[in-house]
Amino acid sequence: MIEIDLNTQHFFSDGLYAKQMSLPTAHFAESHIHKYSHLSILAKGRVIVDADGIETEYTAPACIDIKAGVKHKITAYEDVVWYCIHATNETNLDAIDNVLIKEI
């Protein structure tokens, strides 16, 4: 697997966490499963989201409901700006994935 810089940024506000990523065309965000449902915002670009084998295409702007326990993968068909929005009080970046992600 080739690691790329997603220009990840982190934002926090009273029980909310937003993770911003920039995903270049033809790249993907690794499949993973969250412990809790959350919203994702596609702010720029076009993606295919594979959720437990069901592929859905989205074009920005779009708000996407990612359900808990669903293995999902995001593939960029254009340069993408993507936000994951989570309800959590965790602000330690070294611990936050352990709180939110069930498995990769």
Instruction: Quick: pLDDT tens for 14-54.
Output: 999 999 999 999 998 888 898 899 999 999 999 999 999 99
Give the count of beta carbons closer than 10 Å to the beta carbon of residue 59: 12
Fold of the domain spanning 9-103:
Jelly Rolls (2.60.120)
Instruction: Provide the residue count of the chain.
Output: 104
Q: Is the pLDDT of residue 3 over 80?
A: no
Spatial distance between the Cα atoms of 57 and 23, rounded to a whole number of angstroms: 15
pLDDT of residue 1: 45
Helices (H), the chain: 96-100
Asked if 23 contacts 79 with a C-beta cutoff of 8 angstroms, the reply is yes
Instruction: Quick: pLDDT tens for 50-99.
Output: 999 999 999 999 999 999 999 999 999 999 999 999 999 999 998 888 78
pLDDT of residue 104: 58
Q: What percent of the chain is predicted at pLDDT more than 90? A: 72
Give the predicted TM-score (pTM) of the model.
0.88
Buried/exposed 8-45: b ≥16 CB within 10 Å, e otherwise:
eeeeeeeeebbbbbbbeeeeebeebbbeeebebbbeeb
